[in-house]
Structure formats: structure tokens, C-alpha cells
Structure 1
Amino acid sequence: MAKSLSIRRAVLGALALFVAGAIGSPAAAQFSLPAFGDRAEPVDPFQSRPGLAPPPESVGGTPTQPLRTERAIDPRQPQPSRSQYAPNVAQAPRVAQRDVPYERRDDAPSYRTANNGAPNQPAASNGPANRPRSDNPFGENPDPLLAAQPIARVGPEVILVADVLGPVNQQLASRLRDGIIKPHEVDREREKLIRLAINNLIDQKLVVTVARRELPPEAIPKIEKSMNEQFDKSQLKNLFEQAKVSTTHELDEMLKQSGSSLARQRKMYFERSIMQEWIRREVNFEPEVTHDDMLAYYRDHADEFAIKAQARWEELMVRFEEFPTKADAWRALADMGNRVWAREASFAQVAKEQSQGATASNGGARDWTTRGSHASAEMDQALFTLPVGQMSKIIEGPTGFHIVRVVERKEDSKRPFVEAQVDIRETIKKQKTDRAIKEYLLKLRANIPVWTIFDGPPQELAEAGAAGTPIR
């Protein structure tokens, strides 16, 4: 057992050094290889936006009182006295003698930047956060002979270190460069990617082993010739473009720097093609899907067919950056709202003449917006609680003040089964096919010995029996 662990540690340690050198090379940084099982982390498309005021207690209804928006207190700003926000009504000058829904407030706090007028500047620092990130945390001078070492075995087929270096190098360098992982996380990420690459290659080798065993011997050279011709037509051109070279010799040298080679790329393409065609021969890709199957799926996955409410709306808007203070911006928008309220001009006309919104030239008209998709929670609440055709109170957003009016709204609903059944059928068909492929591969694993570097020295394969040792 001690000998087994020492061999495993030695090979993994050497693999780490080899991976390091490939990642650190300039060629690896600019050349991408096809990767097995690469899964990008989901990215949240909606970022939280600081500085939003909490929504008012009531958004709906015809506004008859000036909006008193509660704002988050910035500890960096000198705090105004109560009189600045709520002056004595008797002392506050009235701009107009008539009652209007949008009061031209003079008490809105001045608009300032986070540094009281000074533009935000990035902190000048030579600390670790501002230093260029290195793609080579492992050191240099790797041993190229390690590429020929076995890392897994599937029956008579051997998986070498070089078979996984390309995908692992490419993915590690990319994730380091993009900041998905940190240098101290590389060891753990490397082992995870190695395990994933080996697992994918094991499935591929299992199918290739069976195909070589059952195909007539004279058929293999013909298939290889056909696959090489397809590789030259469909793959070689892309490899030349990615590597930015013009000869096969230059391409081969470039591939070798990242742990692969042109011959290995051809071999992997041949084996992937064999795997795909052989599985299609062994697995039913058109499984039966009954009406009851589809109804059960529709019932059990109701969330997939839920349709969120949508609203089509129009907007009047002023931007903080266009005014000296927020009070000035408030008054400008209040004047717009009062013009529409007093029927001096239509909403679209006021938007074209005065609004600063993105669709002002189109009369402030906005397209359908789904509930929960707006960056401002207060705007989203207004769009889905206001009565259709009624103007909102003045709403403060991250970049300005808004008045919105809903033109049309579709409430929450559910996609009918009649419309969804085609998609449901395809989903169930894919699930059944994937399950059949998995069962087929498991059957192969039960009959073909499998060894990986994570299981112990190769000589232990004989002790594992004909069933082999599954990868963990």
C-alpha cells in the first residue's frame, strides 16, 4: 500500500510540473485546444445596483402629494438637517399657485459624487490585487518525457499523460486568466479537470475497444483513411487559424508546446468519430414517448411552463449628470409630469421634447418587460402594480428620476400543453437517450478492466479482476 501511494504521488507531482510548463509557455496562452467536458460557470447577467431608494409604501394611485423618497444615508457625506429635507411649509416658496401632482421641490439634496464632487479614482497601489496575474504558478523547466507515462488503461487501450495535457492546460490557463480560480486553487482545480478528462477518455476508449474487437480487421484502415480526410477538411483549417501558423510542421511544434501533437489530434478525432457512430448503432436514439409521458412531465415540471407577467410602458426621465443638483433634476421632471397631467401636451410629445430617457425620441415608449427583469426594484414594482394608463409618482433610480405609465400588461399565466407538447417530447426523448447511453457505458465498464492513476499502481489491475476498478 505504501509503495502504491508513493508511485501515485510521484506521477501526480510530475504531472503538475508538466502542466505548469505548458501553461506558462506563450504558445499555450494564445492557442486553444478542444476541451473535454469544459463547463463555464454561470454568470449572473443582472448586477445589483447600489444607491437605490427603498420603494414607497404605495406606488399606485393618482399622485396628489410630493414624493418624499427615503434615501440611504452615506456616512461619507455631511448629513443635512431635517429642515433641508422637510422645510416648514409656510417658509417654503410656492412656484405655482395651483395644485399640481408633481411638486417642484427645492429641498432635494444636492447631487454629489462619492468623493464630494471629485471623480472616483482607482486606488494607486502596488499590492497583490494590482499586480499582473501569473498564469504559471508551478515553476518552469518541466520534464517532457512525462507525456509518455500512462495515466489510465482501458482493456488493451492506454491513456497517456499527453492525452489529457491539452484540455487540462487550456482550461487551467483560461480559468486563471479570467479570474475564475486563484493561484492557490490551482492544485485542486487541476485534479478535478484531470479526473474529468480521464473519465471522458475512458468512455471513449471503452467504445473504441469494443468497435475494434467487432469490426473486421480490414475495415479499420479504410475507416482511418476516411476519418483523416474528414479531419483535413473540417479540423485542420481551424487548427491553423487558432495557432496562426501556415505549415503542418509549425502546427505540430505549437501543439507539442501545449502537451499535444498533430498525430494525437488526428487520433482523438478518429476515436471520437468511432464512438459517436458506434453508440448510434448500439443505442436507440428514437425512443417511444407516449402521451401519458408528456402529460406527466407537464404536470411535474409546472415551473418550466410558467409565464411571468409582462408590461409594455412609457417613460419620462431626467439624468442626474445633466443637472447641477438632484433638486434641479426633480423640478425638471415635475414640470414634465405636470404638462401631461394638465393635458397641455401628450405623454409622447413631452417625452420627445424634454425627456432624457433611452427611448425619448420614440415618445418614451418601452417594449415588453418581464416581471423581475428590471434593474430597479422600485421601477419593477410600479410596472406591475400601477393601474394601466395611470402615471406613477416620481421614482428615483440609480442614474436619474423617472415617471412611468403602463400601456398594456399581461398577467402571470401558463403555457398551454398543446403548445408545449412538441418541446416536451424532445426533452423526454433526450432524457431517455442519455439514460440509455449511460447504461450502455456502464455495461462496458462491467466487462472491460479499467485502471486510473487514482486507483493505484498499474500492477494492481490484475488483482481487480475482470470487472476492473471504476474511476472514483
Structure 2
Amino acid sequence: MRYAQVYFLFLVSLGMVGCETTPKVDNPVLGPPPPRLKSALKQQKLKHAEIASRANDRKNILEGDFEDSENPFETPVITASTTSAESAVEDTEDILSDSTVVAMVNGTPLFVSDVIGVYNFQLKQAEQRMPPEEYQKLRRALVKRDLKGHVERQLLIHEMKSTLKKEQLDQLQEVLETAFEEERIPELQKGLGVNSPQEVEAKLNEQGRSLYSERELFLKQQSAIQFMAVKAKATSKFSREEVLARYKANIKDYEVPSKVRWQRIRITYAKHGGKDQAVGLLDEVIHKLQAGEEFGVLAKKYSDGTRAEKNGQWGWTRRGSLAEPEIEEALFTLPIGQTSQVFETSTSFQIVKVNDRKEAGHIPFADVQGKLEQSMINEARMKATKEILEELHAKAVIETMFDLDEDDVNSTNSAGP
């Protein structure tokens, strides 16, 4: 099982943790308050503004103050008269460099590179074919989309480090490093189509990645996942009675409507010169059916429409899906294997035969028990995960450049507990 040994050893490690292992400090979760993010962002903006201002000054000296060009593909020149420290800040506000701090989680900074570093290869390709402003919008959108998950992972890692002893953290690190070597690297080799770690490194380098960066990402992700799996303590098994109760409470979800498999011979008026002319062909078909000729053979020879090539056969058809009520009623009432009377519609003569039918009912409990129980386990895990994250959010100091989703917890720019 994937990373199974990681989970087992980590579970054993946590089993050794008691209240006495929690660091004895005034505030073991938060520690010292982090520096205000707004101050850090202000410094970043001023730095960007200074760089942008110097760049614009150099551009003005080289290009001069020109009139707007009639060429729609030419970038307008920004002149000295239109630049200032304030406008430079606005112009560079959307520029997110890899070193830009986008969040502080319990005193630990999250940089742009932490959030979107995994997209380096795709971003480099996008940068080559996108205008600079669109490229920056793309980076910003990726950061906003993925920031929540990185904040939550950092919360879990902080809690883990505050809860476990150093020797337990060292043990977990060792186990995860082994898992990376024995499982993750072979996965990368298979995914990249190579045969050795050296070839993996070369391929990753082409994409702006490395085995080191993959290792660091793996360790962070798996540490958070394993810690959450144990800390959440979600139900991992439900009794038959519990699953059956869920099945009965949602019985409508397992309803199965009646359906029928059938064949049809259809003689259209238009194709045979009108209704009167079609009657002659219909009589011929009826005589052959009465003589015992096979329905499918006659459908292939006489029926109109694409289904003729398939001996007039139709797959499972649910009640209520046919346009002709009389024909549908016959399909759901005729004995299986029996041929119907002739139905006269506004455009054709039709004869149908019922090949098989399943009455309305419900999917048996035995057929869905396993899948239903797994969905209940997943629900329990999601609920426990949400509760743990809410608890961690409530006692954390989190400041972000972007607002997290409203349902994350109200303390996005939080105070302590």
C-alpha cells in the first residue's frame, strides 16, 4: 500500500506522545508573535517602486517623450511627467516575485515560490507567449487559488512540531526520506519515462525542478497528511446496521426505473411515396411475420432508419423516454418475446417486439454496501479534518496578502486565542 509503512510508524510515534511531551511554555502553539505582514508588504512595494522608477527614468532618457503611436502593437512610452513613487507602486502592485511574502503563519513566512514553485515549467512556457501584465495576472491567480492549502499545511506542520518530541520528528523525517527513495523516485522515473535517479534529475532540471525540490515538497506534504490522519481520529469503519440505516434514509437515490430492450420495424410514409403506398409494404411484412420469419431479419430488410442495420434493436430504454405513448405502453405491458399490433403514427407504421424487461425497483443493499460505507468513511474524515483545521485556525496568527475563503474561519487576519 502506498506509503503504508510511513503511516504505521508515524501512528506508533504518536501513540507514545502524552501530555507531558508538550513543550512547557506560556503559549506552546503560537510562540512569539510574528512580524506584521503589512509592514513586510509595504517594504516590498517601496522596493518595487524604487526599481520601477529607476527603470522608467532610464527609459525616458533613452527614448524621450514621444506622442502616442498609431501602431497598435507598439507599447506606449511612459514619460517622466506621468511617473511618481505612488504610481510606480500601483503599477508594480501586481508583480509577485518568487521572494514576495504572501502569508505569515504563526511567524513562518510563505513565499510566492512556496505556493507556485511546482508550476515553474508551465509558468516559464506561459511567460514566453503571454504579455507581461497577463503573465503577472496568471501568477497572481495561481497564488490566490492555492494559498489556502499551503496555509493549512503550514498550520499542521507547526502543530506537529509543537506536539512531537525531537526524536519523534527525527524518526518521521527518516521514515519519509526512505519512502521518498523507495517509492516516490520510482514513481517519478515511471512518470518521466526514465530508468535512473540521474535521468530523473536531468528531466526535472529541464522543467525548472530538481530532486531536492521534489524531496522537500514530498516531506512537507506527507508530514501534514500523516499528522492529520492520526490527529483527526475519524471513524474508519461502520457497522452493517449503520450503513443500512444510511441506505434506507436515502432510498430514493437507489431507485431503478423500469426499462425494456426491444426491436422495431418502422415503415415511413414519405420514403415510400405516401401512406397508401406504404400500406402495401406493411402487408408484406405482416404476412412474413405470421409465416414465422425472424423479426430482426425483417427489420434489417424493411425498416427505415439507422437501426435497421442493427436488426431494429434498441438497448435498455427507460419508461418515459419515448415520444409515442401508445408504443411505450405496449413495450411495458406486452409479454416478453411477443410482437405488438401495428401502430399508425403521423409519419409511419410501426411494429415493436419486447426482448427483455426489468421492473422498477431499487439497487440491492448488498450491491452498494461497500461503496456506501466508503463514502461514509470519507465524510467522517472530511468532517474531522475540517474540525481540526478550524481549531488550528482559531488559535493561530495568520496574515495573508489575499483573503482566504469565507468558510475558512473568520480569523484570516487573526489575533491569538
For Structure 1 versus Structure 2, the TM-score category normalised by the shorter chain is: 0.5 to 0.7
Q: TM-score, normalised by structure 1?
A: 0.50
Give the secondary structure class of the aligned counterpart of 2:221: helix
**Would the aligned equivalents of 1:168 and 1:194 in 2 still touch at CA under 8 Å?**
no
**Would the aligned equivalents of 2:176 and 2:219 in 1 still touch at CA under 8 Å?**
yes
**Displacement of 1:195:** 3.6
**Displacement of 1:435:** 0.9
1:309–1:432 CA distance, 2 compared to 1 (3 A) = same
Equivalent position amino acid for 2:190 in 1: K
Offset from partner CA, 1:438-466 (integer Å, 9 cap, x none): 2122222223322221159xxxx998433
1:445 alignment counterpart:
393
**1:251 and 2:195 correspond:** no
**Displacement of 1:365:** 3.1
2:384 alignment counterpart:
436
| Residue number among 178, 189, 192 corresponding to 1:226 in the alignment | 178
Give the secondary structure class of the aligned counterpart of 2:386: helix
**Would the aligned equivalents of 1:336 and 1:350 in 2 still touch at CA under 8 Å?**
no
**Displacement of 1:5:** 13
Give the secondary structure class of the aligned counterpart of 1:448: coil
2:372 alignment counterpart:
424
Hey, what's the Cα distance between the residues in 2 that align with 1:161 and 1:454?
A: 12
1:239–1:198 CA distance, 2 compared to 1 (3 A) = farther
**Displacement of 1:146:** 0.6
**Displacement of 1:434:** 1.8
**1:351 and 2:351 correspond:** no
Give the secondary structure class of the aligned counterpart of 2:233: coil
Hey, what's the Cα distance between the residues in 2 that align with 1:380 and 1:272?
A: 58
Unaligned runs of at least 5 residues, structure 2: 1-35, 50-93, 125-133, 405-410
Hey, what's the Cα distance between the residues in 2 that align with 1:268 and 1:436?
A: 24
Hey, what's the Cα distance between the residues in 1 that align with 2:41 and 2:107?
A: 25
**1:466 and 2:416 correspond:** yes
Hey, what's the Cα distance between the residues in 1 that align with 2:278 and 2:154?
A: 69
Equivalent position amino acid for 1:205 in 2: Q
Hey, what's the Cα distance between the residues in 2 that align with 1:9 and 1:366?
A: 68
Unaligned runs of at least 5 residues, structure 1: 15-142, 174-184, 468-472
Offset from partner CA, 1:237-286 (integer Å, 9 cap, x none): 31457xxx9562453242x3xxx655433322222222222222223354
**1:162 and 2:162 correspond:** no
The 5 Å alignment of 1:66-465 reads: 146-165=97-116, 194-213=143-162, 214-215=164-165, 216=167, 217-219=169-171, 221-229=173-181, 230-239=183-192, 248-254=201-207, 256=208, 262-287=211-236, 289-290=238-239, 293-316=242-265, 326-328=270-272, 337-342=282-287, 343-344=290-291, 345-355=293-303, 360=308, 363-371=311-319, 377-378=322-323, 382-383=327-328, 386=331, 387-388=333-334, 389=338, 390=340, 393=343, 404-417=352-365, 419-455=367-403, 464-465=414-415
**Displacement of 1:436:** 1.3
**Displacement of 1:334:** 6.3
Structure whose CA Rg is larger: 2
Offset from partner CA, 1:325-348 (integer Å, 9 cap, x none): 943487798666544433253312
Hey, what's the Cα distance between the residues in 1 that align with 2:205 and 2:280?
A: 70
Offset from partner CA, 1:313-369 (integer Å, 9 cap, x none): 113368x9xxxx943487798666544433253312202434466665663333323
1:338–1:447 CA distance, 2 compared to 1 (3 A) = farther
**Displacement of 1:412:** 2.5
Hey, what's the Cα distance between the residues in 1 that align with 2:313 and 2:238?
A: 45
Identity %: 21
**Would the aligned equivalents of 1:308 and 1:371 in 2 still touch at CA under 8 Å?**
yes
Hey, what's the Cα distance between the residues in 2 that align with 1:454 and 1:282?
A: 28
Offset from partner CA, 1:215-244 (integer Å, 9 cap, x none): 525335523531431321112431457xxx
**Would the aligned equivalents of 2:327 and 2:343 in 1 still touch at CA under 8 Å?**
no
**Displacement of 1:304:** 1.0
Equivalent position amino acid for 1:304 in 2: D
**Would the aligned equivalents of 2:282 and 2:349 in 1 still touch at CA under 8 Å?**
no
**Would the aligned equivalents of 1:152 and 1:451 in 2 still touch at CA under 8 Å?**
yes
**Would the aligned equivalents of 1:329 and 1:401 in 2 still touch at CA under 8 Å?**
no
Hey, what's the Cα distance between the residues in 2 that align with 1:8 and 1:339?
A: 92
1:40 alignment counterpart:
none
Give the secondary structure class of the aligned counterpart of 1:148: coil
Q: TM-score, normalised by structure 2?
A: 0.56
1:466–1:363 CA distance, 2 compared to 1 (3 A) = same
**Would the aligned equivalents of 1:306 and 1:412 in 2 still touch at CA under 8 Å?**
yes
Give the secondary structure class of the aligned counterpart of 2:323: helix
Give the secondary structure class of the aligned counterpart of 1:454: coil
**Would the aligned equivalents of 2:200 and 2:211 in 1 still touch at CA under 8 Å?**
no
**Would the aligned equivalents of 2:116 and 2:142 in 1 still touch at CA under 8 Å?**
no
Give the secondary structure class of the aligned counterpart of 2:191: helix
**Would the aligned equivalents of 1:313 and 1:365 in 2 still touch at CA under 8 Å?**
yes
Equivalent position amino acid for 1:301 in 2: N
How many residues are paired up? 305
**Would the aligned equivalents of 2:112 and 2:143 in 1 still touch at CA under 8 Å?**
no
